């Protein structure tokens, strides 16, 4: 019976709410007696699960808020205060519903992390076998093909590939991996083929540690609930004793029950759920999904905001920021032939150039001959009769293509501005430089300014990206502090240190890699599109 009631508590809450609404409609229609009947029914239906919880707490020798609400509601019924009794019980259940929804969202977030973990691995043990990832042992040789997930942390011993490491580093730009490079569990092979030797397996993998950190951070947020339980343990019997004293002094049962009803934490029971619903609704209308009233309470005390960089302060989508043509080429023509050559490349920088050409509706038709990808450096190809060499300084030096002082100075200037400089040589001479960068969001400066205007004194950026680019973003946005080249666990430690020094910390990020730090912070801000 009790299990059935607890299972259907949402339906009980809904029925109670409908009966209350019906009661007020009947009152407006002039059927006052029927109104009382509807409100009494709403009270009786809603108080049952509350009374059950109170009884269960008493069996554990604990005095809960539910006990005081139950006593106060019985008193309200005795005083014929049916509106008070029905509304308090309904909103108490509705508040519990909101809390349950918050916990459900939290569990679903954790489940999304767990679902990212690969379930199987292809290993070479004399023959090729597909086994559950739990059976992989340190030293196993593992095969990962295009589209597959890396099942464990390891080191590449054969092959090369482009990996999406957003789950671990948060960086949207795919990373090129080859012999002797490390790979991490949960990352995805976009293109290529790898054979790795397992170094960390099971609970020791990077993704497993991220999941563990999120679980620990979520568990640490039960301190508020523990305080409320302790408060109720003293408050509830205290109020009951005081009500008895009132009766002993006055011999007025009505006054004693009135005291009980007044002492019921009605302001909390009614105010907390209503303010929560209003706040959540207002946030939703402005594109912000808020997980519960406790978050809104903490926001009023906030003094430190920590941002991830990629996808949070920046767009998370690399773009061509500048094309500098030298000699006789126009920018558009240079972009067209370079993009045509880059169609043979799977590298993210090459694909960014191709995307830029497509965005400008440039035709990539034409002859492409002798295309060759030079691993880690760039490409060579013939396009429309031109011999193109596209890549970094090492490739230019290897091809004996001179870089003039003018070209070198321009490239250094673009790099200091946070770009990657791609050299494009045509027929043995540098014809241009392509600058590629992940651009700052257009609304980021306004967001930082609004935080300042609302009294946030400390704004910090934590990122897995290189320090030079991080400094550029921090300087443009006027941030107070930055730390670069961080792993997820480093971000967690920094957030913990800030909290330990007395700061109320909000952490904003968009990647799975940010999840532990977001969960550790007093307020977690998960960015959406």
* pLDDT recorded at residue 206: 81
The CATH H-level (homologous superfamily) assignment of domain 293-314+440-526 is HAD superfamily/HAD-like (3.40.50.1000)
What residue ranges do the domains of the chain occupy? 2-112+220-280, 117-204, 293-314+440-526, 318-437
Q: How far apart are CA 475 and CA 459, in angstroms?
A: 12
Residue-wise pLDDT tens digits, 125-135: 888 889 999 99
Tell whether the model's pLDDT for residue 48 goes beyond 80: yes
Q: How many residues can be counted in the chain?
A: 529
- From the list 93, 64, 72, 55, the residue with the least C-alpha distance to 232 is 64
| CA atoms of 447 and 429, how far apart (whole Å) | 45
Domain 318-437, second-level architecture: 3-Layer(aba) Sandwich (3.40)
Whether 5 has a pLDDT exceeding 70, the answer reads: no
Question: Is the pLDDT confidence value at 294 over 80?
Answer: no
Query: Are the beta carbons of 151 and 121 closer than 8 angstroms?
Result: yes
Q: Which two tokens stand for residue 345?
A: 């490349």
The angle subtended at Cα 196 by Cα 195 and Cα 200, nearest 5°, is 155
* Per-residue CA distances from 392 to 398, 401, 411 (Å): 10, 11, 10
- What pLDDT score does 270 carry? 47
Q: Active-site residue numbers?
A: 308
Confidence of residue 306 (pLDDT cuts 50, 70, 90): very high
Q: How confident is the model at residue 207 (pLDDT cuts 50, 70, 90)?
A: confident
pLDDT digits (tens, 9 = 90+) for 331-369: 999 999 999 999 888 777 788 899 999 999 898 887 788
DSSP code at position 501: T
DSSP SS3 for 157:
strand
Instruction: Please report the pLDDT score of residue 275 as a whole number.
Output: 55
Stated as kind and residue range, the H or E segment containing 311 is none
- CATH for 117-204 (2.70.150.10, 3.40.50.10790, 3.30.460.10, 3.40.50.620): 2.70.150.10
pLDDT tens readout for residues 391-433 = 988 899 999 999 999 999 998 888 888 787 899 999 999 999 9
More confident residue, 286 or 339: 339
Q: Going by DSSP bridges, is the β-strand pair 314-325/368-374 parallel, antiparallel, or unpaired?
A: unpaired
Which of residues 466 and 96 earns the better pLDDT score? 96
Among 229-233, 281-285, 327-331, 514-518, the least confident range: 281-285
């Amino acid at each position: 019976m009790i299990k059935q009631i607890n299972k259907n508590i949402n339906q009980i809450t809904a029925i109670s709410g409908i009966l209350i609404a019906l009661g007020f409609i009947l009152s407006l229609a002039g059927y006052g007696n029927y109104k009382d009947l509807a409100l009494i029914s709403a009270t009786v239906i809603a108080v049952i699960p509350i009374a059950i919880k109170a009884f269960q707490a008493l069996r554990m020798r604990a005095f809960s808020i539910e006990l005081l609400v139950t006593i106060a509601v019985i008193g309200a019924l005795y005083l014929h205060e049916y509106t008070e009794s029905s509304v308090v019980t309904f909103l108490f259940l509705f508040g519990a519903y909101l809390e349950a929804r918050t916990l459900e969202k939290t569990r679903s977030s954790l489940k999304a992390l767990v679902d990212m973990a690969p379930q199987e691995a292809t290993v070479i043990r004399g023959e090729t076998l597909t086994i559950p990832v739990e059976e992989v042992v340190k030293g196993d040789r593992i095969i990962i093909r295009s589209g597959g997930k890396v099942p464990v942390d390891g080191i590449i011993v054969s092959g090369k590939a482009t990996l999406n490491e957003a789950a671990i580093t948060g960086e949207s730009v795919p990373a090129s991996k080859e012999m002797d490079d490390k790979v991490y569990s949960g990352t995805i092979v976009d293109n290529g083929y790898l054979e790795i030797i397992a170094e960390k397996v099971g609970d020791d993998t990077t993704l497993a540690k991220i999941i563990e950190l999120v679980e620990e951070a979520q568990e640490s947020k039960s301190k508020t609930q523990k305080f409320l339980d302790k408060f109720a343990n003293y408050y509830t019997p205290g109020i009951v004793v005081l009500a008895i004293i009132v009766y002993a002094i006055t011999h007025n049962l009505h006054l004693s029950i009135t005291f009980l009803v007044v002492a019921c934490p009605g302001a909390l029971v009614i105010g907390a759920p209503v303010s929560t619903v209003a706040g959540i609704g207002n946030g939703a209308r402005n594109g912000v999904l808020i997980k519960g009233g406790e978050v809104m309470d903490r926001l009023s005390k906030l003094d430190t905001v920590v941002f991830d960089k990629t996808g949070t302060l920046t767009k998370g989508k690399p773009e061509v920021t500048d094309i500098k043509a030298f000699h006789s080429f126009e920018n558009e023509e240079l972009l067209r032939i370079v993009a045509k050559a880059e169609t043979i490349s799977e590298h993210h920088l090459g694909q960014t150039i191709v995307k830029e050409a497509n965005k400008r509706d440039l035709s990539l038709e034409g002859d492409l001959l002798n295309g060759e990808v030079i691993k880690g450096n760039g490409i060579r190809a013939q396009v429309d009769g031109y011999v193109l060499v596209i890549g970094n300084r090492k490739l230019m030096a290897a091809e004996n293509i001179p870089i003039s002082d003018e070209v070198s100075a321009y490239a250094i200037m673009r790099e200091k501005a946070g770009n990657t400089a791609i050299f494009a040589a045509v027929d043995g001479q540098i014809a241009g430089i392509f600058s590629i960068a992940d651009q700052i969001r257009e609304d980021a400066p306004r967001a930082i300014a609004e935080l300042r205007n609302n009294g946030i004194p400390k704004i910090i950026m934590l990122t897995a990206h290189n320090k030079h680019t991080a400094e550029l973003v921090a300087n443009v946005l006027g941030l107070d502090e930055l730390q670069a080249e961080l792993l997820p666990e480093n971000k967690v430690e920094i957030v913990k240190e800030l909290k330990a020094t007395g700061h109320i910390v909000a952490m904003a990020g968009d990647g799975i890699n940010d999840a532990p730090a977001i969960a550790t912070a007093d307020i977690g801000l998960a960015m959406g599109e």
